[in-house]
Amino acid sequence: MRAWIRMKMTTTSAKFPHTMGDREATPRWFTETDEGHSRWYADHFRELVEEGRDVEGEARLVDALIAPGSLVLDAGCGQGRVAAGLHRRGHRVIGVDIDPVLIEAAGTDSPGPTYLQADLTTLDLAASGHGETLDAIVCAGNVITYVAADAEAATLEAFRRNLRPDGVCVIGFHVERYPMQRFDRDLATSGFTVEHRFATWDLRPWHDEADFAVTILRA
């Protein structure tokens, strides 16, 4: 499963900046998409569900990697489709997204998980009252490529801090937005080990010409 994104065609004002060192940075989810994109995105997946389309491929893969009843973070949960799929499979799920429109949609469309509005790049679940370290993280739908520019490494480091030792993290994105050489360099500095890499969420083999990557990491 890949993300459907309507790209920004005109400049809009920056929203939800966070501080990186001595400068402010705004997630590209707000600077590279049109006004109203978030509501369109939530409506799009509602339509897919109504049509009977499969929107749980990511949840099935993560479920196969973890023990029953695991504590899982859906990083960039959007309207909650992956979080809900994992919840239905018996896991304890926290969904985090910086977009208030999508967090509201998740609470309505995908009840069960706990949803938090927060920036993944500075994520500290313990400070938000969730002190137990995570068993797993799933970051689907190009989310890692829509954090603030040059904040991917800091986001991976935040994932690692919130994940228990030997925990699993699964990340999927289009490689044109985050070249694999840079991704692998950022993984090394953040303390993750690559266990497997595929070209799709249904585990088609990875190859150098693939336009999408699903990487399974171990803390």
pTM: 0.87
Collapse the DSSP code of 207 into the 3-class scheme (helix H, G, I; strand E, B; otherwise coil) and give the result: coil
Average pLDDT over residues 57-78: 97
- Six token digits for residue 155: 């986001």
Instruction: Tell me how far apart the alpha carbons of residues 10 and 4 are, in angstroms, rounded to a whole number.
Output: 19
In the chain, domain spans: 18-218
CATH number corresponding to 18-218: 3.40.50.150
Element (H, E) at 199: none
Residue at token pair 């749980």:
56
Q: Binning pLDDT at 50, 70 and 90, where does residue 219 land?
A: very high
pLDDT higher than threshold 80 for residue 23? no
The pLDDT of residue 24 is 53
Over residues 44-67, the pLDDT tens digits come to 778 877 877 877 899 999 999 999
State the first-to-last Cα distance of the chain, in angstroms, to the nearest integer: 24
In DSSP terms, 116 is beta-bridged to 96
pLDDT number for residue 21: 43
pLDDT, one tens digit per residue, over 100-111 is: 999 999 999 999
> Does the pLDDT at position 127 exceed 80?
yes
What is the rounded average pLDDT of the residues 172-197?
A: 97
